Each structure stands twice: as C-alpha cells, then as structure tokens.
Chains A and B, each alone.
Chain A
Amino acid sequence: MSAPVEVEEASKLFRPRLTLGEKIAAALGSLVETRTVRALDRVSLSIRPGEVVGLVGESGCGKSTLGRIIAGILPPTSGTARIGGEPVMIGGRKRTTRVQMVFQDPFASLDPRMRVGQAIAEGPIAHAIIRRADASPYVKKWLEAVGLDYDFAGRFPHQFSGGQRQRIAIARALAMTPDVLVCDEPVASLDVSIQAQIINLFLKLRRELGLTMLFISHDLGVVRHISDRIAIMYLGRIVETGDARRVYADPLHPYTRALLDSVPKLVLKDDEIVSFKAIRGELPSALSPPSGCHFHLRCPSAVDRCRSQVPLLREIEPARHAACHLAPIG
C-alpha cells in the first residue's frame, strides 16, 4: 500500500461569504471590499511511495490547508493533487479512498454515539472493501494493529483516554487500506509519555505497511524523529525542502534556521546558558502578507531584492530546495 503524491501549483483562497446587504450592494454595482486570504500560494510538493514527509510551520502558514487538499477534504482554488497519478478530487468531490487523514483532536474526530468497532467498520463496508459479515475479524485485525484489544470494539469513545482515542482514529483511517496517510498534528494534544507511544506506533505501522505519509506538526523534534524528508512553510509558501537530517544540521533558508534556533533545548549544564534565540517581529497577517519574500520583514539578511521579488523554490544542493534569493546563506 503505497503510491506517490504529487501536488502541482496548488493554491487556496478563502473569501468570507458576503452578507445579504453586501450582495445587494454588489448587485447594484458598488464595490464591496472582499478580504481574501491566500492560505496556499502555488505550492508544489511530491512524496515518493513509502516516504514520510514532515510538514512544519507556525500557525497560519497553510500546512493544514495543504494536508487537507492532499486528503481530498478541501478543493484547491487552482492546481491539483494526485495520488498514484489519479486526481484526489474531481469536480470538487473526493474520488478516491487511497488517502485517509488522522486529525489532531481525537475527541472531535470520533462520533461519540458510535461504538468503536462500528466506527472502524463503517467506511470499509460502505466502500465494499469488506462485507458486513466479515466486519468482526476485520475490526479485530486493525484494533490489534494499533495496540488495542478487540474487547474495546463494543465501547464508546468517551470510555477511552486521549492516547487510546488517537489509536482508534488511526485504526479507522488504516481500515480503509489507504496508500497515503495524512496526519495533522496527531500527537500535539497528547502528554509526553503518551506522545512517545503514538510516535512509536507510527514508526511500526510505517515499517509494516510501507505507508506513504504526510506528517504535519509544529513540533520540530517530533517531525525530525519521524520524517525522511521535511518541508518548511511560511505564510502559504514552501520555503525549504530536503532530507530531514541535512535540513536540521544545516538549514538553507533563513526562516528554517531562525525557527530551529527558537526551539528551547534541554539545558544540562549548571551555569545558565541561552539555549535558543528569538525571531524578531510578529507573524504577518495572511490578509496582507509582505511583498516579495514573505519573510523579509523578519529576516536578518534581507536585501532590497527580497522586498520586491518573490523568490522561487529552487535546487540549491542536490535534492535540497530553498526559496531564498540569497541561499545558501553563509
């Protein structure tokens, strides 16, 4: 179960719905001010079969939007997402079961009134992956794959802890036998000790099933641990991609470097040392992103060109890309 993911020039614009008054005003010919958010700005990304790509960025950078487009939950405004060569969506509707998604909040992603076994079997029965009569052994197989007892199948979601619910959500996604799994912050709401258990589960599933995965997280430590390759986003654009170890060891884009530097590390020496540096300034609003390179206002190395010209993602080193006029930065 693995297939390549190809996203080509995907953009997503969000426009607030017009109120009745605004619609009438627009119909009468007056200019209605619309505030458009460009959540995703011509993003291209490919994931090889069996590869795990970590998608990192701060809130509002578009990482969840990209994940949802790949998962077929959100239609892109322009551009396409394909899995194994087939478009994920046709005519604004999801046309494939080859991709499934795991969400951050396992409390919100499970129907509170549906028994766990039923929740896992529902999709595979509806899509004729299994017959209703075969549901029990099938549910057992997937519950056990995520480290839960079959006894749990008759229970309701509220009877489980957060970590167990996330296991159920993963079993539910995998029961659809997807080629690709999109995980959006799957461990962000879990305690450290439970987080480690779920990360280990992902590592195990990956080894056993050869899953292709997009792993979205704001936690750089988690992403480094689980990903082969990472992509870093800033305000709707990918600013850097490359082999995870190499990106962490030697980032090419100033934003990647600043982001890595701003993570506090464990201080193990008695004399107090500064274990991190802050990026100056605030995240700009996605409603009015800065011109040129979106990062230029906060970038320590910005030059005039960065203010006027949008840098394209280009190959700086073999298999490493960055969207920076000045890359590689010294």
Chain B
Amino acid sequence: MSLLEVRDLQTHFFTRAGVLKAVDGVSFDVAAGEVVGLVGESGSGKTVTGLSILGLIDPPGQIVGGSVRLDGQQLVGLDREALRRLRGQRIAMVFQDPMSVLNPVLTIATQMRLALQAHGRVSKDAARARSIEALAAVRIPDASQRLDAYPHQFSGGMRQRVAIAIALLHRPALIVCDEPTTALDVSIQAQILIEMRGLVRDLGTALIWISHDLATVSSLASRILVMYAGRIIEEGPTAAVLRNPRHPYSRGLLRSLPSRAEPGRDLAQIPGTTPSLLRLPKGCAFRPRCPEATDLCQQPPLLERHGARAYRCHHPLSAEAPA
C-alpha cells in the first residue's frame, strides 16, 4: 500500500465570477520515502493540490470530491482537531516564504518548543535538546546559540532551514514542499537541495516537491507529475519524462528552457497564455496552444497508463522522439 493515495481530488473555489476548478480530478500515489516532483506553471493547481492534502483549504475554496488517504486513513472530511493532530506530526509542509510559518515576535526556541508540545507533553529541557538537534541536522551553525534568536536575525536561506527543521521535528512520514528554494539565491538553493536530499534519504521521509523549475525537480525527484489547468497531464520516472516527454505540453516546457538552446537563437515557445480557469476550452485544456491538436481534442482526453508512464493526450508524442 502507498503511503499517500490521492484519488480524483477536486478542489474548487466558489468566487463571484464563477466556480474555479483549481484541482479537477487529480489522482496519484506517493510511496514511503519516495520523492515526487509536482511541476506546472502558475494557476496549474500544484499548490492547491499540496494544500488540499494537508486540509488547508479555506472558503471560498472547498474540496468537493475525491479522497486523500495517508496510511489508509481518509483525510478529506476529517474535523479540524483531527487534522491538527496529523499536521506537523504525520505530515508537514514547507512554504516558499519561511516567514509565513515563523512568528516574528517569538524566538526560534519558543516556536520549536510550541511545535513539539502541540503533539504531546515535552519538558522545556527536552524540547530544547531536540530543537538543537533539529537545527544542527539542517546545518545551522552554532545551533544552541542561534536557537534564542528571532526570525529577522536570520538570512533568507537560514530561515528556510529553520522552517525545514520545524517540519522535520516530529519525523513526519510526508513533507509537502511548495517552491521552498524559489526565493533563494542559487548558491543557497544548492546547499538546501543537497541537504534535503541527504535528510530524506537518512530519515526515510517522503517528499512532494512542488516547483516550476524542471532542473531542480530532476535533481531531487525520482518521479514527476506535470500539471496543467488543474489536471495531471503526464507522469512517470523523472529522467524518462524529461528525456522523452509524451505530452506536447511537457515537450513545450522543456523546449522553452534557455539552458537547452543554442545561445542567441530564438527559443521554442508555447504560443498563447495559460487559460483562465473560469473559461477553460472544451475538451483538452491545452488544445488552443497545442501544435498537435485536431478535432478529436474537443473530447476530453483520459489519463492513459503504460507501465510507469501515463499521459492525458489524444496524440501522444512518439516514444522515441527526444524533447
């Protein structure tokens, strides 16, 4: 059995302008200790998928269908108290902006102690010892002294390390990371990626790594899910998907990367813009931007599975064609 089973998840936002289907029938599994990359552009639903798993959807948003099971336990529809007990303990989240989880007026020591005491009786001394251990694990130098500092006394990279340390406090089975290194400089991003990779390997923590950056995902995740307009349009082993994408959108994303093009030449570009979720085209949502589209694409394509690979396309690219 998988650690996490998401089945036909539907998270909609009921706005004055209409119903926004941010996540519209998403299904995937995450095995214990597995690192899964979730990629897509803004508005593709990757963040809302992450928030839905943790039960962090507030009105006007609502999970209107599907299920999320962690170790077999259904999370959709759990009451607030039951979710609170799970969050932080069995499942945790790291956000792009660490200040969204750190309280600016409390020391790191206090915040970590509160996080520990939220899930059981822990003495002050024991909490301090465990906090120092957690900060050292994410390579914060002088952890025992830095523990008494306030968030603003840390650099951006160090704050994100603190947020990761807090997420790891209870050794959760799954951590959802939403663009955790996007706001950081490349040299700091590289440090955190390498540390993260070591930590999850040592602790056996499963990760859902949400990012728009294919290169970052490819250096971390063994499996990749590509989202477009609220749906998963392709999934498979990361290197295989990047080597030989089957969905035209995945290929378009790869081809538009400057690092893969001859300098100075025009980049291959996906025409048009991501559609508004309020006015999605009929059938395949990528149809108006797709070079392969035909009349058949007016019918919504289903996610077809072929071994480890899956794609949602009437005209999948050849299994041999490189990106």
Contact = CB atoms under 8 A, between A and B. Distances in A.
A221 B257 contact: yes
A221 B260 CA distance: 9
Nearest to B256: A196
Which of under 10, 10 to 19, 20 to 34, or 35 or more describes the interface residues of A? 35 or more
Interface in B248-295: 252-254, 256-261, 263-270, 273-274
A236 interface: no
A222 B186 contact: no
A165 B168 CA distance: 40
Contact of A221 (B188, B189, B243, B258): B258
B186 A259 contact: yes
Interface string A304-329: 00000000000000000000000000
B165 to A, nearest CB: 16
Interface stretch (A40-48, A103-111, A132-140, A186-194): A186-194
A221 B238 contact: no
A277 B190 contact: yes
B270 A279 contact: no
Interface stretch (B66-74, B115-123, B125-133, B214-222): B214-222
Interface stretch (A4-12, A16-24, A84-92, A268-276): A268-276
Contacts of B239: 267-270
Given A191-B41, A193-B252, A196-B270, A278 B191 contact: yes
A242 to B, nearest CB: 14
B237 interface: yes
Interface residues of B, number: 48
A196 B270 CA distance: 8
Interface of A: 58-59, 161, 163-164, 191-197, 199-200, 203-204, 218-222, 224-226, 244-245, 258-259, 262-270, 272, 274-279, 282-283
By secondary structure, the B interface counts as helix
B218 A266 contact: yes
B41 A192 contact: yes
A200 B264 CA distance: 9
A224 B242 CA distance: 22
A270 B263 contact: no
Given A268-B218, A276-B193, 12 more contacts: A59-B156, A192-B214, A218-B186, A221-B259, A225-B264, A264-B190, A264-B193, A266-B218, A274-B194, A282-B155, A283-B187, A283-B188
A267 B193 contact: no
Interface of B: 41-42, 155-158, 185-191, 193-194, 212-216, 218-219, 222, 237-240, 242-243, 252-254, 256-261, 263-270, 273-274
Contact of A267 (B42, B156, B242, B263): B242
Nearest to B253: A192
Contacts of B155: 282-283
8 contacts: A193-B256, A196-B256, A200-B267, A224-B258, A225-B258, A266-B254, A274-B194, A275-B218
A62 to B, nearest CB: 14
Contacts of B260: 266
A195 B240 contact: no
B268 A267 contact: no
B277 to A, nearest CB: 13
Contacts of A194: 41, 273
Contacts of A283: 155, 185, 187-188
A197 B269 contact: yes
